[in-house]
């Protein structure tokens, strides 16, 4: 499996909690599209000619691209890479961009076959608190319009744990998504990231910090409600109807190769990771000069082990003992020793297939458990 990720670094306005790379000045959008086309050419050999099984437009807000811009990017990708006939081709979109006209043109004139919609909440109070550009009405309407235009492969993002999100609001958000039969849900706990407006507001006392107990309650509600409707909780933040897993994200979690194009995009070739500069002006300048604005690092065994532990433990497939053994005995021995405390306190269990998985009580502690299992390089 190999994949391409394209980072479209523009948004209409800055959501208060967001720490992704984006600019709210759209002036350089046409130049950015040209630069992305150039980077696709420069990086044409990165995946070694492998057939693409996934193309993913993320950001930022890729639904700000117009049809002509999308067509140019697809034309370039298809000219440079073989693309599987059943490739998953995802566009992240915000509800306010998904007019019927936009949906029809995506459906009829591009190969996009999956929409990832940044709904976040179906309540205006939450959306205003988050500084989202859309309303609750946009959120509901775009789901109906997407279905009406034939988009069956939908995933939506929802955020829980925000001070504005009462348990009743959250329950309603979850039920609306489940009633709509959305096959895939990505639900994130609000986090206060450094450098965001939210972090500033919390420091100033203008916003409450995240209420951890409420966040856990809402996460548990979500797990129960999704399970009752037959969704699989296949990754900490992701729920899918049987077989409707996100192929693109699953590729990341399973260590597949991917090429990331655009400012701040990361790439992985199985052994090394590289990342583009997270600055639109510097990215554009480098592309004009035909130079890749990327840094690269060869992953050490410890980094590969840590990454495997962190990502696999978050999935329902778990952390496989056989895979841990491929890192060599010091790592396997360390893992077996450290995992024992979590087996004893009931936050991790080992299945008949020998894979270690988080239990329900372990799921709320996923990050802490993974970091306790990390190999610290200096100890090597
Ligand atoms: S959450 Fe999405 S729409 Fe909001 S600022 Fe971040 S990237 Fe842009």
Q: How far apart are CA 25 and CA 16, in angstroms?
A: 17
Q: By three-state DSSP, how is residue 362 classified?
A: helix
Residues across the chain: 380
The Å distance, Cα 56 to ligand 1 centre, comes to 16
How remote is the C-alpha of 102 from its chain's centroid? 23
The Å distance, Cα 157 to ligand 1 centre, comes to 11
Residue ranges around ligand 1 (CB below 6 Å): 11, 14-15, 18, 20, 22, 59-61, 94, 118
Q: How far apart are CA 124 and CA 164, in angstroms?
A: 10
Question: Which of 173, 178, 53, 157 is closest to 115 using CA atoms?
Answer: 157
Please count the CA atoms within 13 angstroms of the CA of 227 that sit on its side-chain side: 9
Q: How far apart are CA 97 and CA 61, in angstroms?
A: 9
**Helices (H), ranges, the chain:** 29-42, 67-80, 100-109, 124-130, 136-148, 167-179, 197-204, 212-228, 247-253, 280-288, 301-313, 321-325, 329-344, 360-363, 366-373
3-state DSSP: the chain helix, strand, coil percent, rounded to 5? 45, 20, 35
Report the nearest-CA residue for atom 4 of ligand 1.
15
Domains of the chain: 2-252 (3.80.30.20), 301-379 (1.10.10.920)
Question: Which of 324, 320, 315, 322 is closest to 362 using CA atoms?
Answer: 315
pLDDT of residue 108: 97
pLDDT of residue 380: 45
Residues 6+ apart with CB under 8 A from 262: 6, 7, 8, 9, 32, 36, 39, 276, 283
Q: CA geometry: angle at 166 spanning 216 and 145, to 5°?
A: 100
Q: By three-state DSSP, how is residue 95 classified?
A: helix
The Å distance, Cα 22 to ligand 1 centre, comes to 8
pLDDT of residue 379: 46
- Residue to probe by mutation, ligand 1, list 22, 64, 142, 263, most atoms within 8 Å of CB: 22
CA distances in angstroms from 195 to 174, 201, 203, 340, listed in the order given: 29, 11, 11, 37
What angle do the packed helices 280-288 and 29-42 form, to 10 degrees? 50
Residues 6+ apart with CB under 8 A from 186: 116, 155, 156, 157, 158, 237, 238, 246
DSSP letter, residue 315: B
**Using an 8 Å Cβ cutoff, are 151 and 35 in contact?**
no
Q: What are the average pLDDT values for consecutive 10-residue runs of the chain, which has 380 residues?
A: 96 97 96 98 96 97 98 98 98 97 97 98 98 97 96 97 97 98 97 96 94 97 98 97 94 90 96 96 97 95 95 95 94 96 97 95 95 81
Report the nearest-CA residue for atom 7 of ligand 1.
60
The Å distance, Cα 372 to ligand 1 centre, comes to 31
- Residue to probe by mutation, ligand 1, list 25, 57, 58, 59, most atoms within 8 Å of CB: 59
The Å distance, Cα 11 to ligand 1 centre, comes to 6
């Amino acid at each position: 499996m190999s994949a391409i990720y394209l980072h479209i670094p523009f948004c209409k306005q800055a959501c208060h909690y967001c720490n992704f790379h984006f600019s709210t000045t759209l002036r350089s959008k046409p130049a950015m599209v040209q630069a992305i086309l150039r980077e696709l050419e420069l990086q044409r050999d990165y995946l070694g000619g492998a057939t693409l099984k996934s193309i993913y437009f993320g950001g930022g807000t890729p639904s700000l691209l117009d049809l002509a811009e999308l067509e140019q990017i697809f034309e370039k990708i298809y000219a440079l890479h073989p693309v599987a006939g059943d490739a998953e081709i995802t566009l992240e979109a915000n509800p306010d961009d998904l007019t019927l006209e936009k949906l029809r043109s995506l459906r009829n004139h591009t190969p996009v076959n999956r929409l990832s919609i940044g709904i976040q909440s179906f309540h205006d109070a939450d959306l205003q608190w988050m500084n989202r550009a859309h309303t609750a009405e946009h959120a509901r309407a775009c789901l109906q319009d997407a279905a009406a235009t034939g988009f069956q492969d939908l995933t939506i993002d929802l955020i829980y744990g925000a001070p504005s999100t009462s348990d009743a609001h959250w329950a309603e958000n979850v039920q609306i998504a489940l009633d709509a039969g959305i096959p895939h849900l990505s639900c994130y706990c609000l986090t206060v990231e450094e450098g965001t407006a939210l972090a500033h507001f919390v420091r100033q006392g203008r916003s409450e910090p995240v209420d951890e107990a409420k966040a856990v309650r809402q996460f548990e509600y979500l797990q129960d409600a999704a399970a009752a409707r037959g969704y699989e909780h296949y990754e900490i933040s992701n729920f899918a109807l049987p077989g409707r897993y996100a192929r693109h994200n699953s590729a990341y979690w399973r260590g597949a190769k991917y090429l990331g194009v655009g400012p701040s995009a990361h790439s992985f070739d199985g052994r090394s990771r590289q990342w583009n500069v997270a600055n639109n002006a510097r990215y554009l300048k480098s592309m004009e000069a035909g130079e890749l604005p990327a840094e690269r690092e060869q992953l050490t065994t410890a980094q590969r082990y840590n990454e495997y532990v962190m990502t696999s433990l978050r999935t329902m497939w778990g952390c496989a003992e056989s895979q841990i053994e491929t890192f060599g005995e010091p790592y396997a021995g360390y893992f077996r020793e450290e995992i024992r405390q979590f087996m004893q306190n009931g936050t991790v269990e080992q299945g008949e297939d020998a894979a270690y998985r988080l239990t329900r009580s372990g799921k709320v502690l996923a990050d802490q458990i993974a970091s306790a299992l990390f190999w610290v390089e200096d100890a090597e």
